[in-house]
């Protein structure tokens, strides 16, 4: 059974003038385009199938990324649900000559695998092997319940994992 | 005081070959780029300031959009929080000659307004005037608590609006 | 019968560094690309058919548009001729934080509607309903005669509407 | 004194998938972008100054240009008016392996030359030397009058060259 | 029999902000893209067939090219080898208002012609007619031997033309 | 002292319709653009300075890369010469659903490091540690002599390493 490391995908790019916004830093929409591409490759590696994006959550812009920076993107599958896969994407920027490097962005992308007739295709299970992989695996269920509740597709009372976060005995749990 | 309608922004585009993925439909990353641009204009209209994206949530891809489709994007501010604004973006695709039109995507973008020194700038309050605007306004607080909890910046026990969703007497509430 | 308002199409964009010329303002060719796309959507709405550009006239650049400006484009059909449609396109630029807005460009695009075999297709008639729509409707005939004469496809003596402009009793007419 | 040949500029390109519309042929807006660039180089050569586009007329699309075609664009200054220059642009497409070549497009672009403070700059006169150059030179005056009349900046009765086209004794003149 | 002049292809472009690197000069990768396109047209003209790039050598960047410069690219076939053609590409940049012009780049591209089933197709011979064409023609054989030796497809001892460069009696030869 | 592994840079991309040529496979010029970017990052990592491309050699296209393929690019510094660095770039394409992977391209890029005044800057030495790194290190000297001879900057008789390839006792050496 494949682990998250088997789908890990790295992308490295330089921020060109073409990629900037009027403030002269990396355009947020351009970064989301790259993150989509990098995470789609990770999902393709895990499923060995064509995949399409079904949702994106938790995209969080921490720092602006300057023109000329080297952008490194890492994506890996965190959990699978029958025909869908959640992928965690992280982004760092580096200004190599100035020796600066920082975490700039992260997000969760969800993909569905498709067969040749473009119908959803069951995907292989995933086996987390490190503590961080296990933490991401556990969190994926809660994030999925949030998505379903906010989209009106699940009742709050049925979201057991999420509900547990709000019970007195659980409020020390890591989200 | 401005209403959501005052920041409403419409964008209309045609899906060109340049915008497609290898399946021949609109590239998801390209759509997120356009949604970012449309919602940034809405946030700029409300704040009359330069804005930067700080988070994106609930991006939900419902249907693939075909080559040659007309894509219509609508963005409007749903709620403000001191220096930040949540913007709700909706996307429809239309194949005019075949007379087909459907909702394809929606998402919540959050922006921060910046002053000339690029420091966060307080933004004007927003006054919802229709029932739909009020529903989006109320939901914005719950979505914000989800973002803060999932990002580890808020304790679940302090997320009163969200917690209420999980209490027995509230489980009929609309998420 | 459809009016010009039925085909009205709005496009809103931000001038990114990617769209500028070496002077740092919006590239004229890029603007014409956007105007072509916006007016083609208007012509598609009116004809409910695939359309192709056949001519462009009266493109008039009044002001340079700066990096970071919001560009608003409006297109609507002004008159139809059996299988072709004239579309009037207007462009405004807005620097929202500085609260500046001005008319920057306008042009007339002509499209032909095509059937599935890519042969010209008759298009529905158009009914102008406001005074401005009527003025654009009347001018369309004169603009068409200018196009045909300058292209050598019509003799000056047969261009009655245009010729009337040069007769003594008509020289007070609005062009 | 410079002749039109001195400003002649050739551009050769291949229509890539990136340049096509949903019908699979060259996007009309993309072609106008290239024509703008080619004619701006011709105007720069004549004026030895930075130039900006002020108007475009008579863009006439005669044939669709297929994917993979070689596009050849020729631009040359036809006439100058104090600070402005009219440039005639012609476009041919060639499918070399199939040995097909045809005229696909032509247009008139008008540019103004700018000094370093971005103020209009007088441009050198132009000396037509061939019969075709002379014909383009003469026509430039009539095209200019059409532009000014249609833009409401000239009265029809003052457009002597244009008016002459409509007088009985002149109706055999080439437009 | 065709001469190098018959395949000569000129491309003229302006360096837009979109084409620059973070230093504000023309991106080297973008220039190689244009050189590839220009030389592919030259190879297509000579072979009257679809061509694909098989190798590139001797790309030599002599000067950075500034934003706003006019770039002129010239390509022509220098020699043919059964199904392949070597094309010599030269690049000049010009800052017309400042009246500066210089050679900036040159390279050798090799293409193979393909038939409709995408199999290599024999190409017509080439007849050099000027001294410079003859020099390029002769050098093509030595450059080909270098490529084959460095790629491990030819033994150094079999590269007669190249070997001759290293023999005492030949060391005055022009490379 | 840094080894080639310290500068190793990986780039992963998907071939989108936007990146293809009229044959529907990856455009050669686009691939060279990506290779340039990937190798420039490797050279930046080694030199901790801004770098510019000075030459490219041995670009060898072995297989066409299909639409939808995942392209993996690896670049690492092979040898340094005072202010310049040679970088070896390799390209693989993978069609993950069909489980196909192959080497498609390789090339040698040479960069110069620049100080803040854009003058060449001495770069740190490189220490090859594996047999493959040593082989690339040794070959770099011969490739450099070829470049200098073909560019007319070195006499063949002074290219000792290269000359040795053509002497009887050396003709078994790996090029």
- Confidence at B171, pLDDT banded by 50, 70, 90: very low
More confident residue, D111 or A1: D111
**Sequence-separated (6 or more) residues with CB below 8 Å from residue E118:** F23
CA–CA–CA angle E122, E123, E127 (5° rounding)? 140
Interface size between A and E, measured as CB pairs under 8 A: 18
Among chain D residues, the shortest Cα distance to F18 is held by D18
Contact C17 E18 (CB under 8 A): yes
Interface size between B and C, measured as CB pairs under 8 A: 44
φ, ψ of residue E95 in degrees (nearest 5): -110, 95
Contact E20 A17 (CB under 8 A): yes
Contact A48 F11 (CB under 8 A): no
Pair of tokens at residue E150 = 């460095």
User: Does the interface predicted TM-score (ipTM) exceed 0.95?
Assistant: no
Minimum distance, in Å, between the CA of residue C127 and any CA atom of chain D: 23
Interface size between A and C, measured as CB pairs under 8 A: 18
- Confidence at F173, pLDDT banded by 50, 70, 90: very low
Neighbours of D81 (CB within 10 A): 13
Q: Is the pLDDT of residue D150 over 90?
A: no
Q: Residue A150: which of B58, B159, B173 has the nearest Cβ?
A: B58
More confident residue, B163 or E142: E142
Pair of tokens at residue C144 = 């068409």
Residue D169: per-residue pLDDT: 52
Partners of E112 in beta bridges = E52, E84
**Backbone CA torsion sign across A143, A149, A154, A156:** positive
Q: Is the pLDDT of residue E110 over 50?
A: yes
Contact A10 F12 (CB under 8 A): yes
Residue A98: per-residue pLDDT: 82
Residue F170: per-residue pLDDT: 46
| Contact status, residue E42 vs residue E76, Cβ threshold 8 Å | yes
| Contact status, residue A94 vs residue A69, Cβ threshold 8 Å | yes
More confident residue, F157 or A109: A109
Q: Is the pLDDT of residue F171 over 60?
A: no
**Sequence-separated (6 or more) residues with CB below 8 Å from residue A169:** none
Minimum distance, in Å, between the CA of residue E47 and any CA atom of chain A: 36
Q: What is the pLDDT of residues C83-127, one digit of tens each?
A: 999 999 999 999 888 888 999 999 999 999 999 899 999 999 999
Q: Which long-range contacts (CB under 8 A, 24 or more apart) does C129-134 make?
A: C129/C3, C129/C4, C129/C5, C133/C3, C133/C4, C133/C5, C133/C78
Among chain C residues, the shortest Cα distance to D62 is held by C54
Provide the domain limits for residue C57. 4-128
Dihedral in degrees, nearest 10, Cα atoms B153, B159, B163, B169: -170
Q: Is the pLDDT of residue F31 over 60?
A: yes
Q: Per-residue pLDDT averaged across B150-167, rounded?
A: 76
Among chain A residues, the shortest Cα distance to B56 is held by A59
CA dist., res. C32 & res. C132, Å (int):
24
Which residues of chain D lie closer than 8 angstroms to C146, CB-CB?
146, 150
Q: Residue D68: which of F17, F18, F22 has the nearest Cβ?
A: F22
Residue D77: per-residue pLDDT: 98
More confident residue, B131 or B149: B131
Contact A15 E24 (CB under 8 A): no
The answer to whether position E56 is within a domain reads yes
Q: Which residues in C have their CB inside 8 Å of a CB on B?
A: 9-14, 37-38, 40-41, 44-45, 48-50, 70, 96-97, 99
Q: Per-residue pLDDT averaged across F46-66, rounded?
A: 94
Residue C168: per-residue pLDDT: 55
Neighbours of D20 (CB within 10 A): 22
Pair of tokens at residue B96 = 């005019």
Which residues of chain A lie closer than 8 angstroms to C17, CB-CB?
17-18, 20-22, 24
- Interface test with chain F among D16, D25, D94, D97, by most F beta carbons within 10 Å: D16
Residue F120: per-residue pLDDT: 95
Mean pLDDT score across all residues of chain D: 90
Quote the percentage of chain B above a pLDDT of 70: 94
Distances (CA, A) of F18 to A98, B19, D16, D123, F50: 34, 7, 8, 41, 29
Quote the percentage of chain E above a pLDDT of 70: 95
- Confidence at F57, pLDDT banded by 50, 70, 90: very high
Which residues of chain D lie closer than 8 angstroms to B96, CB-CB?
none
Of E76-85, F16-25, F95-104, the least confident: F95-104
The answer to whether position B154 is within a domain reads no
Q: What is the pLDDT of residues E147-173, one digit of tens each?
A: 887 777 777 778 787 777 776 554 444
What is the tally of structural domains in chain F? 1
Pair of tokens at residue E81 = 């080898």
Residue B168: per-residue pLDDT: 54
Q: What is the pLDDT of residues F66-83, one digit of tens each?
A: 999 999 999 999 999 999
Mean pLDDT score across all residues of chain A: 90
Contact C17 E15 (CB under 8 A): no
The answer to whether position B133 is within a domain reads no
**Backbone CA torsion sign across E12, E14, E16, E19:** positive
| Contact status, residue B40 vs residue B53, Cβ threshold 8 Å | yes
Question: Is D101 strand, coil or helix?
Answer: strand
Neighbours of B115 (CB within 10 A): 13
Q: Which residues in F have their CB inside 8 Å of a CB on B?
A: 14-18, 67-68
Which residues of chain B lie closer than 8 angstroms to D20, CB-CB?
16-18
Burial-class residue F21 by CB neighbours within 10 Å (0-12, 13-18, 19+).
buried
Partners of F87 in beta bridges = F77, F109
CA–CA–CA angle F110, F115, F117 (5° rounding)? 120
The answer to whether position E114 is within a domain reads yes
CA dist., res. D113 & res. D81, Å (int):
11
Q: Residue C27: which of E15, E16, E67 has the nearest Cβ?
A: E16
Residue E173: per-residue pLDDT: 42
Helices and strands of chain F, counted as H and E runs: 4, 5
Q: Is the pLDDT of residue D96 over 60?
A: yes
Q: Per-residue pLDDT averaged across F47-73, rounded?
A: 94
φ, ψ of residue B134 in degrees (nearest 5): -65, -40
Among chain A residues, the shortest Cα distance to E19 is held by A18
Minimum distance, in Å, between the CA of residue E90 and any CA atom of chain F: 14
Minimum distance, in Å, between the CA of residue E45 and any CA atom of chain D: 7
**Sequence-separated (6 or more) residues with CB below 8 Å from residue D94:** D69, D70, D71, D72, D100, D101
Q: Is the pLDDT of residue B74 over 80?
A: yes
Residue E174: per-residue pLDDT: 46
Partners of F94 in beta bridges = F70, F101
Minimum distance, in Å, between the CA of residue C95 and any CA atom of chain B: 9
Question: Is C134 strand, coil or helix?
Answer: helix
The answer to whether position A170 is within a domain reads no
Neighbours of B83 (CB within 10 A): 18
Q: Is the pLDDT of residue A113 over 70?
A: yes
Pair of tokens at residue C156 = 């000056």
Q: Is the pLDDT of residue A38 over 90?
A: yes
Residues of chain C with pLDDT under 50: 170-175
Contact D44 E97 (CB under 8 A): yes
CATH classification of the domain holding E46: 3.10.129.10
Pair of tokens at residue F106 = 């390789």
The answer to whether position B104 is within a domain reads yes
Burial-class residue A161 by CB neighbours within 10 Å (0-12, 13-18, 19+).
middle
Q: Is the pLDDT of residue D109 over 80?
A: yes
Minimum distance, in Å, between the CA of residue B60 and any CA atom of chain A: 4
- Interface test with chain A among B114, B166, B167, B174, by most A beta carbons within 10 Å: B166
H helical segments located in chain F: 4-7, 28-47, 131-150, 160-165
CA dist., res. F111 & res. F83, Å (int):
8
Q: Is the pLDDT of residue E101 over 50?
A: yes
| Contact status, residue F75 vs residue F136, Cβ threshold 8 Å | no
Contact E11 D11 (CB under 8 A): yes
Q: Per-residue pLDDT averaged across D110-139, rounded?
A: 95
The answer to whether position D140 is within a domain reads no
State which H helix or E strand residue D61 sits in. strand D50-61
Length of chain D: 175
Contact F151 E60 (CB under 8 A): yes
Mean pLDDT score across all residues of chain E: 90
More confident residue, C127 or B157: C127
Contact A41 F14 (CB under 8 A): yes
Minimum distance, in Å, between the CA of residue C12 and any CA atom of chain A: 16
In sequence order, what E strands does C29-140 have?
50-61, 70-81, 84-95, 100-114
Minimum distance, in Å, between the CA of residue B73 and any CA atom of chain C: 10
CA dist., res. E66 & res. D174, Å (int):
45
The answer to whether position F118 is within a domain reads yes
């Amino acid at each position: 059974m494949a682990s998250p490391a088997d789908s890990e995908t790295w992308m490295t790019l330089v921020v060109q003038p073409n990629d900037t916004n009027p403030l002269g830093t990396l355009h947020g929409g351009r970064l989301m385009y790259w993150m989509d591409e990098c995470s789609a490759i990770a999902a393709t590696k895990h499923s060995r199938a064509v995949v399409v994006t079904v949702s994106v959550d938790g995209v969080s812009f921490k720092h602006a990324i300057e023109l000329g920076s080297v952008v490194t993107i890492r994506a890996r599958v965190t959990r699978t649900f029958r025909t869908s896969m959640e992928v965690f994407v992280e982004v760092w920027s580096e200004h190599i000559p100035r020796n600066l490097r920082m975490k700039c962005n992260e997000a969760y992308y969800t993909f569905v695998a498709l067969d040749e007739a473009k119908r959803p295709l069951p995907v292989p299970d995933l086996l987390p092997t490190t503590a961080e992989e296990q933490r991401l695996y556990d969190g994926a269920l809660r994030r999925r319940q949030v998505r379903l509740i906010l989209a009106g597709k699940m009742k709050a009372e049925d979201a057991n994992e999420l509900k547990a976060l709000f019970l007195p005995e659980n409020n020390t749990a890591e989200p």
